[in-house]
């Protein structure tokens, strides 16, 4: 067994950290990278951890809530992995990753692993290696993996492809219910959290959210709405029990299993797309010298060229 794989499976912190860096640095595109071999080896050891997504607008309290979730799960004796994503600068490619400031009290707990990731150009609220990082933590023996997305607006929905239970954090004071109704963020929630419940308007947000859920077409799972004050931990036990309820729904009902199947579908499609996009440059490269002149002289057209390339695949 390769050394790195062995370390990951043994829960060795350095091994896990190295493995995640490897998949971050080698975006899955070629099929021959070390990272891909590692993921193929790791996959059979996954499927044990429950992956929780924590998403919501900047300042909604995602990091503080994550910190409190760690506390809850640790009290139950569960091992916890955390992936906290912050935006990379589109200008320098660098990033300041500071979500863990709110979780530092768990840093020297040997059963908690916290990893910060930069989005590195990915726009969906997570980074390109987030799914793989979650799988690595799963294989390393964590019972729960919490993914904290970047502060999302209204369309960063990638987390639903990765997490088993998506918690969408709402807070009072961010506008009326029309904001929540707009496409995207509403549809991805398995559990709604109205955080900062001690602030004025929290009840109204909860009420409006529940009212909106009446209009759901698929009533097999109606996302519960939980009021929390992450700062002092109020509502956290209820949140954990709702997540547990959702886990039961996913694992024990036909509708839940159907959702898991749909997600696996998406997972393969996403990988396939990423691999194919890696081949685009190479494919076009073999045709380029042949076609570019004709294209410039308008003797042929891009549509015909693409059709020809695809037919000859």
Provide the binding-site residues for another protein, judged by CB under 8 A: 13-14, 16-18, 20-21, 24-25, 88-89, 91-98, 100-101, 104, 107-108, 113-116, 118, 120
CB of 4 to another protein, least distance (A): 12
> 107 vs 265, which CB is nearer to another protein?
107
CB of 116 to another protein, least distance (A): 5
Residue 101 contacts residue 70 (beta carbons within 8 Å): no
Residue 80 contacts residue 122 (beta carbons within 8 Å): no
Dihedral, 289, 293, 299, 303 alpha carbons, nearest 10: 50
Question: 20: how many CB neighbours lie within 10 A of its CB?
Answer: 22
Tell which residue, 177, 169, 183, has the closest CA to residue 205.
177
Strand partners, 191: 167
CB of 212 to another protein, least distance (A): 37
> 24 vs 190, which CB is nearer to another protein?
24
CB of 42 to another protein, least distance (A): 17
Calculate Rg over the CA atoms of the chain: 22
As given in the structure block, the two tokens for residue 134 are 């979650």
CB of 49 to another protein, least distance (A): 17
> 24 vs 158, which CB is nearer to another protein?
24
Determine which helix (DSSP H) or strand (DSSP E) holds 263, and give its type and residue range. Answer: helix 254-296
> 88 vs 209, which CB is nearer to another protein?
88
> 56 vs 118, which CB is nearer to another protein?
118
């Amino acid at each position: 067994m390769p050394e790195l794989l062995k370390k990951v499976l043994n829960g060795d912190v350095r091994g896990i950290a190295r493995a995640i860096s490897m998949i971050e640095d080698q975006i899955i595109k070629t099929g021959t990278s070390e990272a891909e071999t590692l993921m193929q080896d790791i996959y059979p050891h996954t499927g044990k951890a429950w992956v929780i997504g924590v998403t919501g607008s900047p300042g909604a309290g995602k990091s503080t809530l994550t910190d409190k979730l760690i506390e809850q799960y640790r009290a139950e004796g569960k091992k916890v992995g955390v992936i906290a994503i912050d935006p990379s600068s589109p200008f320098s490619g660098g990033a300041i990753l500071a979500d863990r400031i709110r979780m530092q009290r768990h840093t020297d707990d040997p059963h908690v692993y916290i990893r910060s990731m930069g989005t590195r150009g990915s726009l969906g609220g997570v980074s390109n290696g987030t799914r793989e990082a979650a799988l690595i933590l799963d294989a390393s023996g964590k019972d729960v993996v919490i993914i904290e997305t970047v502060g999302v607006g209204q369309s960063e929905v990638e987390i639903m492809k990765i997490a088993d239970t998506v918690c969408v954090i709402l807070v009072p004071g961010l506008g009326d219910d029309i904001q929540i109704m707009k496409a995207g963020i509403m549809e991805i929630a398995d559990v709604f959290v109205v955080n900062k419940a001690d602030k004025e308007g929290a009840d109204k947000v909860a009420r409006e959210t529940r009212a909106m859920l009446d209009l759901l077409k698929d009533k097999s799972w109606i996302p519960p709405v939980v009021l929390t004050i992450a700062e002092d931990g109020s509502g956290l036990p209820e949140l954990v029990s709702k997540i547990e309820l959702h886990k039961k729904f996913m694992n024990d009902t036909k509708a839940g299993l159907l959702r898991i199947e749909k997600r696996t579908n998406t997972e393969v499609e996403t990988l396939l797309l990423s691999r194919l996009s890696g081949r685009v440059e190479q494919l076009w490269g073999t045709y380029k010298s042949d076609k570019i002149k004709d294209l410039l002289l308008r003797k042929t057209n891009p549509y015909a060229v693409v059709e020809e390339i695809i037919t000859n695949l």
